[in-house]
């Protein structure tokens, strides 16, 4: 039995109260796409969700008993998914709507760390809804808003009609600073074509990064991390002779970002050096890494190797052959906190094949 | 030679039971099928989640996605015991004097035979619920341990702590031990007299099926290529002792176990649908059913100790007659 055929895709919707999650959810459920969804919500809200199959579950974060504090799963999702999958004929996909304050990480990790859930479902994408008007305030008073953006594959920058073009640009720059790998869509009333949020395959190694034009381009806003003078971050200004420059010319006036991203670029890598390195980095820095994604070129290997991870969980696989006109190079982005960019860069570059 | 009378159904079988000598097969869609002079069925729930066999009253207690708790007795007698609303009833248990218990979210409820209900609200979700064999006492599996309540009195609960998520719970038939299944691949046990811990680990998979042997001398479990059977004889239970490994297969995993009612024999179901019986004393094995369509998820012995009703996740159910 092929797992690929039987795994039900799961889309996770995050976002603060009022960001438009329910609007998007109702569009997913009501539009004529011929698919049936099972919806898992934390509370049957006041605003109605029009669907036959809605399951309410109490957010239940369980630390795994392996001594790793970032290895958390959502116990309620394990139980609900297990129950739903016993009657699989009722739906084609699952949408998990989280509460505004929910941490997206345990939700996502459930789909990697629990063997039963993993064998029957696959995480498709984490979609974050952001209220363009209120994001600056949210970032000021909570860490969750930032985590939700940092962790997302797709960000819907919603309610754009409520802000000026300047405000919108700043908010988008902030989102981009928190998460350079996410796809951002500007919307009003969550009005995006549904294919931009569904069936993304964001965690599918065969497809990972396909939808990340920004990441794939040699863009130069690698670390345009908005910080004011009082910000507690380490800034490593250094003059490397390659195309990584730290510059703050997109800098928004928003000073409440604690997530940073580190984009690394290198040549052809030595497998014997790279794998122990990535393992060590994720073991040691796992708690600080929210997401990582990369394309690695290995010496004597005709295929692109893609890698993605959440905290300490790392998955990698060969994706496809390098095309003739493609430069064999390696790119890796870390999104997280307290990342030592200089050290990551140095040790990453040390993995290059001689 | 054992013979198998198949019953091919559609859907995941949650539980099997003999009620009044008739084999019953409870499926996830909420329909309970039975072989009573032909194939008959009763729709009990819109979605079945949890079951418990009430041996004292020969009935099956069921909890559903529809928020209902029902009792199904012999002769298709259905009684609705509770209606909670839209929330899932994730665990049910049968107790003494006709009492039953059920879990929804963070609440464990005990319903006495007179219909009175007592709720126990916990800080975290109630993952599993079970009655102690003697006295009016329930155990609740929860995050970081288990909680014991005494529903007939106003006594304080007893908290048993052990880090990790505990998902299922069972008392030993003599009432001396409490054992939980965990989110990680392990069981945890407490000796209730003094709270002494028992760690039972080393499983390659999550343990989803437990069965006590006659008089509670052994606890059989799934979650490995063999049935792992822990000794609970002697004052220290399984501590410091190796479990029996019965019915080891290199290429399959045990998904369901059911101990014989009066002899030290266990029926072992595998993820490929095969079922064997194995004797503890000499580890002798007998094939009861060849591999089928999917993993065995339910087995129950009848009172005459001759038949086993079994069910699978793919719906290929049936009755094994040991004597043939």
Residues of chain A with CATH 3.40.50.300: 8-211
A351 close to A271: Cβ distance less than 8 angstroms: no
- What residues in A contact B205, CB-CB < 8 Å? 115
Q: Give the SS3 label for residue B263.
A: coil
Q: Is the pTM here over 0.95, yes or no?
A: no
For every residue of A135-182, which 3-state class applies, written as one string? HHHHHHHCCHHHHHHHHCCEEEEECHHHCCHHHHHHHHHHHHHHCCCC
Residues of chain A with pLDDT under 50: 1-5, 213, 216-252
Taking the domain A259-350, which CATH number applies? Answer: 3.30.1220.10
B151 close to B142: Cβ distance less than 8 angstroms: no
What pLDDT does residue A67 have? 67
CA distance B164 to chain A (A): 5
CA distance B92 to chain A (A): 15
| Nearest residue, CB atoms, B125 vs list A64, A73, A76 | A76
Superfamily of domain B90-202, CATH level 4:
YVTN repeat-like/Quinoprotein amine dehydrogenase (2.130.10.10)
CA distance B30 to chain A (A): 10
Pairing state between β B117-121 and A313-321: unpaired
Lowest mean pLDDT among A125-134, A274-283, B10-19, B230-239: B230-239
Residue B182 pLDDT exceeds 90: yes
- Tell me phi and psi for residue B195, to 5 degrees: 75, 10
How crowded is residue A299: how many other Cβ atoms within 10 Å of its Cβ?
A: 15
B100 close to B61: Cβ distance less than 8 angstroms: yes
CA distance B217 to chain A (A): 29
Residue B158 pLDDT exceeds 60: yes
Residue indicated by tokens 């969804």: A37
What pLDDT does residue A73 have? 94
B103 touching A (Cβ < 8 Å): no
What pLDDT does residue A183 have? 92
Lowest mean pLDDT among A49-58, A113-122, B187-196, B206-215: A49-58
The nearest alpha carbon in chain B to A88 belongs to B11
| Nearest residue, CB atoms, B87 vs list A56, A86, A87 | A56
Instruction: For chains A and B, count residue pairs whose Cβ atoms are closer than 8 Å.
Output: 60
Q: With a cut of 0.90, is the ipTM above it?
A: yes
CA angle A97, A99, A101 (to 5 degrees): 140
**Is B206 close to A55, i.e. CB distance below 8 A?**
no
The nearest alpha carbon in chain A to B85 belongs to A56
Q: Give the SS3 label for residue B40.
A: strand
A62 close to B143: Cβ distance less than 8 angstroms: yes
The domain made up of A8-211 has a fold known as Rossmann fold (3.40.50)
CA distance A7 to chain B (A): 16
Lowest mean pLDDT among A246-250, B22-26, B111-115: A246-250
DSSP A79: H
Q: What is the rounded radius of gyration, in angstroms, for the C-alpha atoms of chain B?
A: 19
The Cα–Cα gap between A316 and A296 comes to 10
The Cα–Cα gap between B301 and B259 comes to 8
The nearest alpha carbon in chain A to B144 belongs to A62
**Is A116 close to B65, i.e. CB distance below 8 A?**
no
| Average pLDDT over chain B, rounded to an integer | 96
User: Which contacts (CB < 8 Å, 24+ apart) does range A76-81 have?
Assistant: A76/B125, A77/A40, A77/A107, A77/A110, A77/A117, A78/A110, A78/A114, A78/A116, A78/A117, A78/B183, A79/B90, A79/B127, A80/A40, A80/A55, A80/B88, A81/A10, A81/A40, A81/A110, A81/A117, A81/A120, A81/A121
- Tell me phi and psi for residue A206, to 5 degrees: -70, -25
Element (H, E) at A343: helix A341-349
Q: What is the pLDDT of residues A275-301, one digit of tens each?
A: 999 999 998 988 899 999 899 999 999
Domain coordinates in residue numbering, chain B? 90-202
Residues 292-321 of B with CB under 8 A from A: 313
């Amino acid at each position: 039995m092929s797992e690929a055929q039987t795994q039900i895709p799961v889309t996770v919707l995050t976002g603060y109260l009022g960001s438009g999650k329910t609007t998007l959810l109702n569009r997913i459920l009501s539009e004529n796409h011929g698919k049936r969804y099972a919806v898992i919500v934390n509370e049957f809200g006041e605003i109605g969700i029009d669907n036959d199959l809605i399951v309410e579950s109490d957010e239940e974060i369980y630390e795994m008993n392996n001594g790793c504090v970032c290895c958390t799963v959502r116990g309620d999702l394990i139980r609900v998914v297990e129950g739903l999958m016993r009657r699989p004929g009722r739906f084609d996909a699952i949408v998990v709507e989280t509460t505004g304050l929910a941490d997206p990480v345990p939700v996502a990790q459930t789909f990697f760390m629990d063997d039963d859930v993993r064998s029957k479902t696959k995480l498709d994408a984490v979609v974050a809804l952001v209220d363009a008007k209120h994001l600056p305030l949210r970032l000021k008073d909570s860490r969750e808003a930032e985590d939700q953006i940092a962790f997302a594959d797709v960000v819907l920058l919603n309610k754009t009609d409520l802000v000026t073009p300047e405000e919108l640009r700043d908010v988008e720059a902030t989102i981009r600073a928190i998460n350079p790998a996410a796809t951002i869509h500007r919307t009003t009333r969550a009005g995006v074509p549904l294919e931009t949020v569904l069936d993304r395959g964001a965690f599918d190694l065969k497809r990972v990064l396909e939808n990340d034009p920004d990441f794939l381009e040699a863009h130069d806003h690698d670390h345009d991390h908005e910080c004011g003078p009082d910000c507690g971050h380490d800034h490593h200004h250094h003059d490397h002779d390659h195309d990584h420059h730290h510059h703050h010319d997109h800098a928004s006036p928003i000073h409440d970002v604690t997530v940073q991203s580190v984009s690394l670029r290198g040549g052809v890598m030595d497998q014997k050096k790279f794998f122990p390195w990535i393992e060590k980095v994720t073991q040691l820095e796992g708690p600080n890494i929210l997401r990582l994604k990369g394309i690695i070129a290995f010496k004597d290997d005709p295929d692109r190797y893609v890698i993605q991870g959440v905290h300490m969980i790392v998955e990698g696989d060969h994706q496809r052959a390098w095309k003739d006109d493609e430069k064999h190079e390696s790119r890796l982005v870390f999104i997280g906190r307290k990342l030592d960019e200089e050290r990551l860069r140095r040790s990453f570059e040390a993995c290059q094949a001689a | 030679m054992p013979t198998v009378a198949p019953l091919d159904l559609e859907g995941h079988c949650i539980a099997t039971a003999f009620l009044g000598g008739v084999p019953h097969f409870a499926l996830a869609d909420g329909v309970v099928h039975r072989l009573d002079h032909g194939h008959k069925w009763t729709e009990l729930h819109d979605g079945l989640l949890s079951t418990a066999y009430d041996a004292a009253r020969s009935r099956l207690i069921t909890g559903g996605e529809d928020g209902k708790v029902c009792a199904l007795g012999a002769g298709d007698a259905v009684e609705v015991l509770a209606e909670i609303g839209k929330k899932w009833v994730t665990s049910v248990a049968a107790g003494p004097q006709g009492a039953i218990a059920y879990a929804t979210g963070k609440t464990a409820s005990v319903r006495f035979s007179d219909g009175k209900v007592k709720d126990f609200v916990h800080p975290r979700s109630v993952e599993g619920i079970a009655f102690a064999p003697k006295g009016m006492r329930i155990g609740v599996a929860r995050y970081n341990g288990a909680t014991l309540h005494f529903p007939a009195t106003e006594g304080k609960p007893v908290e048993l702590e052990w880090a990790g998520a505990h998902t299922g719970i069972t008392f030993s038939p003599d009432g001396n031990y409490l054992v939980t299944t965990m989110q990680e691949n392990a069981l945890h046990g407490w000796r209730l007299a003094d709270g002494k811990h028992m760690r039972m680990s080393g499983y390659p998979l999550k343990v989803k099926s437990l069965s006590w042997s006659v008089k509670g001398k052994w606890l059989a479990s799934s979650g490995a290529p063999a049935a792992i059977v822990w000794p609970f004889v002697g004052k220290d239970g399984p501590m410091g002792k190796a479990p029996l490994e019965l019915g080891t297969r290199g290429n399959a995993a045990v998904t369901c176990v059911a101990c014989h009612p009066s002899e030290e024999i266990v029926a072992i179901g595998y993820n490929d649908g095969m079922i064997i019986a194995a004797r503890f004393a000499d580890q002798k094995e007998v094939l009861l059913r060849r591999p089928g369509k999917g993993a065995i998820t339910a087995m129950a012995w009848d009172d005459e100790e001759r038949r086993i009703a079994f069910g699978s996740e793919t719906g290929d159910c049936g009755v094994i007659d040991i004597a043939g």
